[in-house]
Amino acid sequence: MTGAAGGPAVTPLHGVRNGVALSGRAGFDYLIVGAGFAGSVLAERLARGLGKRVLLIDRRPHIGGNAYDHYDDHGVLIHRYGPHIFHTNSTQVAEYLSRFTRWRPYEHKVLAHVDQQLVPIPINRRTVNTLYGLELDEAGVAAFLAGRAEPVADIRTSEDVVVGAVGRELYEKFFRGYTRKQWGLDPSQLDKAVTSRVPTRTNDDDRYFGDSFQNMPLHGYTRMFENMLDHPNIKIMLNTDYREVQREVRYDNLIFTGPVDEYFDYRYGKLPYRSLKFRHEMVDQERFQPVAVVNYPAEDVPYTRITEYKHLTGQQHPRTSLTYEFPSAEGDPYYPVPKPENAELYRKYQALADATPNVHFVGRLATYRYYNMDQVVAQALKLFDRILHAETGGRSL
């Protein structure tokens, strides 16, 4: 096991540190499993906000969880686990993260490769006019889509959402193939929440997200995490699985941000997660594609999208680096799969989690929710507030 800087594994602290008495015995106040957004926000808050002594572990060789970024062999900043674009409507979340990073203004644009052309997704006025050779104004596009939309009495699935908004032809061009590849399921088998993430527009707004705050961390996510975790009460152990240290480390409370079914040894069976294989490539040219992400909905193309990072980071470099995403049933758990039977199975694990004293489950994998980064930060801050309240009885410190 190595420490954060690749040094030897840390040993538990003894005595009093920063004026904080140990809670009755030597060890940590909190063991936090997972150094992604959920684990890191809680480590920061517990250490800086409550003076707790925290051991943060991750089985990967780095902090940042899926948001981890790093310079590749050619010196281009890339995201190891696919494109991570920060956006939020929460002032609280934006203000909190702004303590640890400055920001680079960036509004995400995505094009889809459809009918041999690159057109905006979310579908907007330009998408319709380009694909159909029209020159409709906003009202014209609204009427065009309304004329094609199929009435769906009870919108339940990811197919219903799109067919009900734009009709079957555009659904098939943009959503059906992409979704089948991404999830290994037909949109009709997936909860409506999945394709509802992508709006339909009749104007020229070609931003992927509509949020009020859209910025990228100026020096990247990993730097932001380093700043967050830079506190004497936080010890970090990487390349360390919870199972390896569970009995060796003494701690009073556990925060678990890994897969909830794994924590309970798959007692009720495995919760389905979708995985991805990433192919990272360097191209010996300054630019590869016009925007950061191009989606490939056609089913005969094995990947779902190509990301070119320099658009996200603003980095100047004579070469450029790309990531192709190939959806996969095997591999690291990246996406909880939103469908009713999975939600049902999760509820059984949730009941176990609720009945486990001194253990908090938080984050995308531990609460089996298809959450964006800002939602995970908000969830972690909320848990911290509950802990704070329980410790102080509502009194301010």
The interaxial angle of helices 37-44 and 373-392, nearest 10 deg, is: 30
Looking at the Cβ atoms of 191 and 374, the one nearer to ligand FAD is: 374
198 interface partner picked from ligand UDP, ligand FAD, none, CB below 5 to 8 A per type? ligand UDP
State the minimum distance, in angstroms, from the CB of residue 31 to ligand FAD: 10
| The length of the chain, given as a count of residues | 397
CB-CB contact of 22 with 52 (8 Å) = no
CB-CB contact of 233 with 52 (8 Å) = yes
Q: Which residues bind ligand FAD (CB under 6 A)?
A: 33-39, 57-60, 65-67, 81-85, 241-242, 257-258, 276, 334, 363-365, 371-374, 376
State the minimum distance, in angstroms, from the CB of residue 397 to ligand FAD: 26
Q: Interface with ligand UDP includes 179 (CB under 6 A)? A: yes
CA–CA–CA angle 168, 169, 175 (5° rounding): 80
How far is the C-alpha of 337 from the C-alpha of 158, rounded, in Å? 12
Question: Which of residues 28, 86, 174, 309 is near ligand UDP by CB under 6 A?
Answer: 174
Looking at the Cβ atoms of 103 and 334, the one nearer to ligand UDP is: 334
How far is the C-alpha of 355 from the C-alpha of 375, rounded, in Å? 24
364 interface partner picked from ligand FAD, ligand UDP, none, CB below 5 to 8 A per type? ligand FAD
Question: Which of residues 119, 121, 149, 229 is near ligand UDP by CB under 6 A?
Answer: 121
Looking at the Cβ atoms of 20 and 291, the one nearer to ligand FAD is: 291
Question: Which of residues 197, 287, 347, 382 is near ligand UDP by CB under 6 A?
Answer: 197
Looking at the Cβ atoms of 9 and 131, the one nearer to ligand FAD is: 9
Looking at the Cβ atoms of 299 and 391, the one nearer to ligand UDP is: 299
Q: Interface with ligand UDP includes 127 (CB under 6 A)? A: no
Q: Interface with ligand UDP includes 200 (CB under 6 A)? A: no
State the minimum distance, in angstroms, from the CB of residue 84 to ligand FAD: 5
Q: Is 151 exposed, middle or buried (0-12, 13-18, 19+ CB in 10 A)?
A: exposed
Provide the pairing of β-strand 293-295 with 110-114: parallel
In 3D space, the residue among 58, 107, 168, 121 whose CA is nearest the CA of residue 297 turns out to be 121
Reduced to 3 states (helix: H, G, I; strand: E, B; else coil), residue 209 is: coil
Residues 256-315 that bind ligand UDP (CB under 6 A): 295, 297
In 3D space, the residue among 352, 351, 361, 360 whose CA is nearest the CA of residue 390 turns out to be 360
241 interface partner picked from ligand UDP, ligand FAD, none, CB below 5 to 8 A per type? ligand FAD
The span from the first CA to the last CA of the chain, in angstroms, equals 36
In 3D space, the residue among 146, 183, 186 whose CA is nearest the CA of residue 166 turns out to be 146
Question: Which of residues 77, 97, 161, 194 is near ligand UDP by CB under 6 A?
Answer: 194
Q: Interface with ligand UDP includes 157 (CB under 6 A)? A: no
State the minimum distance, in angstroms, from the CB of residue 115 to ligand FAD: 26
Residue located via tokens 């281009």: 76
Based on its alpha-carbon atoms, the radius of gyration of the chain, rounded to whole angstroms, reads 23
State the minimum distance, in angstroms, from the CB of residue 63 to ligand FAD: 8
Contacts of 159 (CB under 8 A, 6+ apart): 171, 175, 176, 186, 187, 188, 195
In 3D space, the residue among 301, 122, 271 whose CA is nearest the CA of residue 203 turns out to be 122
CB 16: neighbour CB atoms within 10 A? Answer: 10
327 interface partner picked from ligand FAD, ligand UDP, none, CB below 5 to 8 A per type? none
182 interface partner picked from ligand FAD, ligand UDP, none, CB below 5 to 8 A per type? ligand UDP
Q: Interface with ligand UDP includes 195 (CB under 6 A)? A: yes
163 interface partner picked from ligand FAD, ligand UDP, none, CB below 5 to 8 A per type? none
State the minimum distance, in angstroms, from the CB of residue 83 to ligand UDP: 8
Quick one: how far is CA 40 from the chain centroid? 14
CB-CB contact of 366 with 262 (8 Å) = no
Count Cα atoms within 13 angstroms, Cβ side, for 64.
22
373 interface partner picked from ligand UDP, ligand FAD, none, CB below 5 to 8 A per type? ligand FAD
Looking at the Cβ atoms of 320 and 372, the one nearer to ligand UDP is: 372
Site of interaction with ligand UDP (CB under 6 A): 112, 121, 174-175, 178-179, 182, 194-195, 197-198, 295, 297
